[in-house]
C-alpha cells in the first residue's frame, strides 16, 4: 500500500491506492442509491461545504452507493474516487463507514471543494469499537449524547456504553422504582445539577445511535457505586464503609465523606454496597434489568462490578453470580468490569471489561482471563492507554492522573492483544471510557475525548501492521482532521505534538 502522509484518513484503511488530483464537487452532482446513507452523505456534505448535492432517482449518479456482500467482511466497504465516486458496502454498516471515509477526503482549496482521488478497500480489525460516557458523576442531556454519537461514529466507533448510575446519581427512569429518579437524580459531583433520561429520552438516544450503526450498552453499576440507590431506597443499601484512600482523597480535595441517605457530591469510591443477603435486593436488580432490557435492542447489559471495596469477597461473589444470571434470564449478555472475574460461578458467556494497566497489576489479569475460561470474551480498556479522563500532561486543566498521563501518542501506541495471556480471538475489541468527575461542561468532555478518540479508533479499526500504521504517519493524518472537526464545532484539544492544518 502506498500512502503519502498527507492523505487525511483516520482510522487508516486496510488498503489504499492514492489517485492523481481531485474530483470537483458542485450542486449539480447527483447521488444515487436506496440506502439511508444517501441522505446522510448529502446532509453531511452540505454541513461541511454548503453544497447541496442532488438525490438521483435513477440507478446511477456521479456518486453511487450500493450494497454487495462480496466486497468485504462485515462492516467493510470499497470506495473508488476517480471520474465519479462509487461506495460499495458489504452491508449497511459498511456503506455508512465508506461514506465517513469519503467525507474525510472532502477538501477545500483555492479552486473550491473537491474529493481527493483514491481507491480504498477496507474492513475493521475488531468488531467491537466502543466509547463510554459517564453521565452519573456529571449528567449530560440527550442532545449532547447525540452529538457524541455523531462525532465518534464518524471515526467508525460502533458501541456507546452509557454509565447510567453511580454513587453521585441515578440517571435512567425505572417505572417499578420511581424514587430512583425522584430522589436520587437531582444532584451531581461537586454539587452540580443532576438530571435523568426518561424512557423516551433513552429510546431517542438508542434510535439515533442505531441510525449510525452504534449499539448502546446501558450500565447499572452494582453492587458497589450504589450510594445514590440508598438515597431513594435506604433499605437496599448498606451503611457507607470508609477506607483509607477515600478519607485521604476527601481531605486532599476538600470534599465531604459520604453520609447514608444523603446525596454524595464527592469523588471517592469503594464505600457503598447493596444489601447482598436481602431478597428484596434481587427483586430490585431483576426489575431494573428487565426494564432496561425491554428498551435496549442491543445484545448487552453492563452490571458494573468494580471497586466494591467495602463488600466481603464471598458476598461479592454471591451477588455477581446471581446478577449475571439475571441478565441472561432477561435475554441479554452480561458485561462486567474485570473484578467480577474473581467469582468462580459467574454466568457462562459473561463478557469482561478489563480496565487495568497495560502491564497488569495484582489479580487483574487472573480476574480478566476467568471470563474467557467461562466461555466469555474480553473488551480491552487499559486505563493507562484508553482512559479518556486521564490528563494529557500533568499540568493539563482537566482529568485525573491515578493511571498516569496519556498523550496522543500513548493512546495510539499500545496493542490490545498483548496485555493479557489469552487467545487473540478472545478479544472482542476496545473501549475508551470517559469518566466525568472533572467534566462539568460539554466542552470539557470534548477536550478530553478529542483527539485521543481518533488514536483509539485507529487501534480498534486498522490492521495492526502495515504501511502508514505508525506514529509519524498517524500524527500527520490526524492533523488534517482539524478542518473537519472545526466545521463540526468540536472543541478538541490542539495537542502540540500534532501538526494541525487549516484545510
Give the pLDDT of residue 59. Answer: 67
Q: What is the DSSP letter of 53?
A: P
Active-site pick, 307, 431, 437, 446: 307
Please report, rounded to a whole number, the percentage of residues in the chain having pLDDT higher than 90.
Answer: 96
Q: What is the pLDDT of residues 39-93, one digit of tens each?
A: 999 999 999 999 999 999 776 789 999 999 999 999 999 999 999 999 999 999 9
Confidence of residue 438 (pLDDT cuts 50, 70, 90): very high
Residue 2 has pLDDT above 50, yes or no: no
Comparing 67 with 503, the larger pLDDT belongs to 67
pTM: 0.97
Cell 492483544 belongs to residue: 417
Instruction: Annotate 167-201 with DSSP letters as a single string.
Output: TTEE-B--TTSTHHHHHSSSB-GGG-B---B-HHH
Give the pLDDT of residue 460. Answer: 98
Confidence of residue 4 (pLDDT cuts 50, 70, 90): very low
Q: What is the pLDDT of residues 121-176, one digit of tens each?
A: 999 999 999 999 999 999 999 999 999 999 999 999 999 999 999 999 999 999 99
Q: What is the pLDDT of residues 455-487, one digit of tens each?
A: 999 999 999 999 899 999 999 999 999 999 999
Q: What is the pLDDT of residues 227-281, one digit of tens each?
A: 999 999 999 999 999 999 999 999 999 999 999 999 999 999 999 999 999 999 9
Start and end residues for every CATH 3.20.20.80 domain found in the chain: 128-463
Give the pLDDT of residue 6. Answer: 61
Start and end residues for every CATH 3.30.379.10 domain found in the chain: 15-122
84, burial (CB in 10 Å: exposed 0-12, middle 13-18, buried 19+): middle
Q: What value does the mean pLDDT take over residues 11-16?
A: 96
> Is residue 307 annotated as a catalytic residue, yes or no?
yes
Shortest CA distance to 119 belongs to which of 92, 139, 101, 140?
Answer: 101
Is 3.30.450.80 the CATH classification of the domain at 128-463? no
Query: Which class is 15-122 in CATH?
Result: alpha beta
Helix (H/G/I), strand (E/B), else coil: 296:
coil
Residue 37 has pLDDT above 50, yes or no: yes
Residue 7 has pLDDT above 90, yes or no: no
Report the alpha-carbon distance of residue 307 to residue 402 in Å, rounded: 14
Q: What value does the mean pLDDT take over residues 12-16?
A: 96
Q: What is the pLDDT of residues 296-353, one digit of tens each?
A: 999 999 999 999 998 999 999 999 999 999 999 999 999 999 999 999 999 999 999 9
Give the pLDDT of residue 503. Answer: 83
Amino acid at each position: 500500500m502506498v500512502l503519502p502522509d498527507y492523505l487525511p484518513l483516520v482510522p487508516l484503511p486496510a488498503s489504499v491506492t492514492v489517485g492523481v488530483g481531485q474530483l470537483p464537487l458542485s450542486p449539480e452532482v447527483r447521488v444515487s442509491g436506496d440506502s439511508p446513507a444517501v441522505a446522510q452523505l448529502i446532509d453531511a456534505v452540505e454541513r461541511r461545504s454548503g453544497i447541496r448535492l442532488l438525490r438521483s432517482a435513477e440507478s446511477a449518479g456521479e456518486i453511487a452507493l450500493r450494497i454487495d456482500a462480496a466486497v468485504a467482511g462485515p462492516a467493510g466497504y470499497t470506495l473508488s474516487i476517480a471520474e465519479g465516486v462509487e461506495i460499495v458496502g458489504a452491508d449497511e454498516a459498511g456503506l455508512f463507514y465508506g461514506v465517513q471515509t469519503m467525507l474525510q477526503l472532502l477538501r477545500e482549496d483555492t479552486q473550491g471543494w473537491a474529493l481527493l482521488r483514491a481507491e480504498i478497500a477496507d474492513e475493521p480489525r475488531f468488531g467491537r469499537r466502543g466509547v463510554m460516557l459517564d453521565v452519573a458523576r456529571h449528567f449530560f442531556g440527550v442532545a449532547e449524547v447525540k452529538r457524541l454519537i455523531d462525532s465518534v461514529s464518524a471515526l467508525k466507533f460502533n458501541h456507546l456504553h452509557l454509565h447510567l448510575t453511580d454513587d453521585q446519581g441515578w440517571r435512567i427512569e425505572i417505572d417499578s422504582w420511581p424514587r430512583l429518579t425522584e430522589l436520587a437524580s437531582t444532584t451531581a459531583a461537586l454539587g452540580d445539577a443532576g438530571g435523568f433520561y426518561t424512557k423516551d429520552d433513552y429510546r431517542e438516544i438508542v434510535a439515533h445511535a442505531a441510525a449510525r450503526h452504534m449499539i448502546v450498552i446501558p450500565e447499572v453499576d452494582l453492587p458497589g457505586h450504589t450510594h445514590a440507590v440508598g438515597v431513594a431506597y435506604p433499605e437496599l443499601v448498606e451503611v457507607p464503609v470508609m477506607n483509607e484512600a477515600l478519607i485521604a482523597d476527601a481531605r486532599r480535595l476538600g470534599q465531604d465523606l459520604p453520609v447514608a441517605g444523603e446525596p454524595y457530591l464527592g469523588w471517592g469510591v469503594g464505600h457503598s454496597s447493596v444489601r447482598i443477603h436481602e431478597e428484596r435486593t434481587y427483586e430490585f436488580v431483576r426489575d431494573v434489568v428487565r426494564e432496561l432490557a425491554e428498551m435496549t435492542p442491543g445484545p448487552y447489559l453492563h452490571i458494573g462490578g468494580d471497586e466494591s471495596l467495602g463488600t466481603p469477597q464471598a458476598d461479592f461473589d454471591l451477588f455477581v453470580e446471581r446478577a449475571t444470571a439475571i441478565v441472561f434470564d432477561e435475554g441479554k449478555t452480561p458485561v462486567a468490569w474485570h473484578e467480577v472475574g474473581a467469582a468462580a460461578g459467574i454466568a457462562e458467556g459473561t463478557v469482561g471489561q478489563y480496565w487495568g494497566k497495560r502491564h497488569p497489576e495484582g489479580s487483574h489479569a487472573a480476574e480478566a482471563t476467568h471470563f474467557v475460561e467461562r466461555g466469555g470474551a474480553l473488551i480491552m480498556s487499559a486505563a493507562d492507554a484508553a482512559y479518556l479522563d486521564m490528563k494529557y500532561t500533568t499540568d493539563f486543566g482537566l482529568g485525573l492522573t491515578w493511571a498516569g498521563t496519556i498523550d496522543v501518542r500513548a493512546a495510539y501506541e499500545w496493542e490490545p492483544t498483548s496485555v493479557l495471556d489469552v487467545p487473540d480471538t478472545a478479544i472482542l475489541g476496545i473501549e475508551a471510557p470517559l469518566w466525568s468527575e472533572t467534566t462539568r461542561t460539554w466542552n470539557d468532555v470534548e477536550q478530553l475525548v478529542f483527539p485521543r478518540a481518533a488514536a483509539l479508533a485507529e487501534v480498534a479499526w486498522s490492521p495492526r501492521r502495515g504501511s502508514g500504521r505508525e506514529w509519524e504517519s498517524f500524527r500527520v493524518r490526524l492533523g488534517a482532521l482539524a478542518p473537519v472537526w472545526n466545521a463540526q464545532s468540536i472543541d478538541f484539544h490542539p495537542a502540540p505534538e500534532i501538526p494541525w492544518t487549516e484545510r
